[in-house]
Chain A
Amino acid sequence: MDERRESEANPTKNRTAVERKSERELVTTRTVNGPARLVFEAWINAELFRRWWVPKSYGLTLLSCEMDVRVGGRYRLVFSHQASTMEFFGTYREVTPHSRLVWTNEEGDNGETLTTVTFDENAGKTLLVVHDLYPSKEALDAAVASGSTGGMPETLDQLDELLVSLRASSVTK
């Protein structure tokens, strides 16, 4: 790969890239320093999966993680964050050992999102491509919009409040 040598400061960490490829698609890529069979194992073995899927720094606790990794098998993840819980669930559509996993995300209100993960081994490293296909442009826009309320830069939050109050005052005029 002719990718730039990853940051000298931390040579063990590879770069994660995210791109909105189209109105409905989001693509995340990352190289992991290990052969595809081991990386794949970490995606299909619930005990291993739960150790990395929820980053420690996110203040989330994975309460349960059930994964029946075979075509037509289902998964269910339950998280708790402060007082509330969130569930993520869906069905595995394709399971091709060491190279490809496809599952649905059925927890959304706007229809199913399809996630395809490919594992591409080269010289002992594995390139992971996580491809999310949303059911519609609106569904991806909604995901973006709902995510934006969480950690907006402060100035934009203020601008939002300002817009709301302006809107309210212009209505009453």
Chain B
Amino acid sequence: MVQYSQVRFDASFGALSDATRRGVLEQLGRADASITALAERFHMTLTGMKKHVGVLEQAGLVSTEKVGRVRTCKLGLRGLQEEAAWIERYRQLWGARFDELDNVVEELKLKEKVDGRTKRK
């Protein structure tokens, strides 16, 4: 897991080492865009832009989806990773909470048993 994120980090670092790719990320931070639109926006060929998007996609920074003849790009996995990490922390909080609740309920069960023995509560 640690190694996996290290690889991801290196890939991200590489992906971010290029000014165009940084520009593409900023652009996608504002709105999703097709590869054609990105190529126009950054004054380059479709093939050139495809390469840049490919690098960003590899790093998990961008995801693409082809609908009909248009390939749309948006900010990728990293956002999803953040969400997954948040949900995991949220789950841990509730897990810890419920573990304490177990103790409280065990105590109530015990108390009920003892009370039941003396007189029905």
Residues of A within 8 A of B (CB): 12-14, 16-20, 26, 28, 30, 32-35, 38-39, 41-42, 48, 51-58, 128, 130, 144-145, 147-148, 150-153, 155-156, 158-159, 162-163, 166-167, 170, 173
Q: B16–A162 contact, CB under 8 A?
A: yes
Chain B residues contacting A173 (CB-CB under 8 Å) are 19
Distance between A161 CB and nearest chain B CB, rounded to angstroms: 12
Summed over the interface, the residue pairs from A and B with CB atoms below 8 Å come to a total of: 117
Q: Chain A CB within 10 Å — which of B8, B95, B98, B102 has the most?
A: B98
A55, B83: Cβ atoms closer than 8 Å: no
| Contact of B118 with A by CB under 8 A | no
Q: Are A170 and B86 in touch, CB under 8 angstroms? A: no
Cβ contacts under 8 Å, B6 to chain A: 155
Cβ-defined contact, B95 with A166, below 8 A: no
The B interface is mostly helix, strand or loop, or mixed, namely helix
Q: Please determine whether B83 and A144 come into contact, CB atoms closer than 8 angstroms.
A: yes
Let me know if B108 and A156 touch, CB within 8 A: no
Q: Mark B3-39, 1 if CB is under 8 A from A, else 0.
A: 0011011001100100100110110000000000000
In the assembled complex, the Cα of A17 lies from the Cα of B23 at a distance in Å of 39
**Chain A residues whose C-beta falls within 8 Å of the C-beta of B106 in the assembled complex:** 33-34
The answer on a CB contact under 8 Å between B95 and A16 is yes
Is there contact, CB below 8 Å, between B93 and A32?
no
Residues of chain B within 8 A (CB-CB) of A13 are 99, 102
Question: Would you call B105 and A148 a contact (CB within 8 A)?
Answer: no
